Copies of this chain bind each other. A is one copy, B any other.
Amino acid sequence: MGSNIKTDSASETLYGIAELAEAHGVSQRTIRFYEDKGLISPRRVGGQRVYTEHDSKRLSLILRAKSIGTKLSDIRTFLELYGREGEGRVRQLEFVIEKTAAEIEALEAKKRQIDQTLAELKLIHDGARERLGRRRG
């Protein structure tokens, strides 16, 4: 099965939960919660969680997805896509293609909604600025 040999030289940077939370601006509770939901799986050293750079990037992905309104349960699916994407089995590939296509469409629809809202907000904003300008003139 290839190389199970861990080529981690001693140089790999590791993080405790406190550091990771601090770095990403979230609570430790949040990180543990994501672990419960199966989104991140840190190693354990005597019970304590130890995070790698990879875990950190995963967390970034999670937070970005969340910021655009994706539910944690869906994020879980997509993290699996990211992971399995390299596998070659036809069923898997079809699954990935289908899921990503659907999500791409959903996100583009969302962008359109945002653009519409932005246009309206800008109208209101500019209108108010103009009236304020005249008032102060």
A96 vs chain B, min Cβ distance (A)? 4
What is the interface size of chain A, counting residues whose CB is below 8 A from a CB of the partner? 39
* Nearest 8 CB-CB pairings of A with B: A69-B69, A100-B125, A96-B128, A93-B132, A93-B128, A97-B128, A100-B121, A68-B113
**CB <8 Å contact, B125 and A97:** yes
Bound Cα distance from A131 to B10, whole angstroms: 35
Q: Does A88 contact B (CB under 8 A)?
A: yes
Q: Does A53 contact B (CB under 8 A)?
A: no
A87 vs chain B, min Cβ distance (A)? 9
Complex contacts, A117 vs chain B, CB 8 Å: 64-65, 68, 107
Q: Does A129 contact B (CB under 8 A)?
A: yes
Return the CB mask of A118-130 against B: 1 if under 8 Å, else 0: 1001101101110
Q: Does A6 contact B (CB under 8 A)?
A: no
A118 with B124, Cβ < 8 A, contacts A88-B131, A135-B90 known: no
Instruction: Find A128's partner among B100, B118, B128, B136 (CB 8 Å cutoff).
Output: B100
Q: Does A104 contact B (CB under 8 A)?
A: yes
**CB <8 Å contact, B90 and A124:** no
Q: Told that A85-B124, A104-B122 touch, could you supply 7 new A-B pairs with CB distance under 8 A?
A: A67-B110, A82-B124, A85-B127, A88-B135, A96-B128, A97-B128, A100-B121
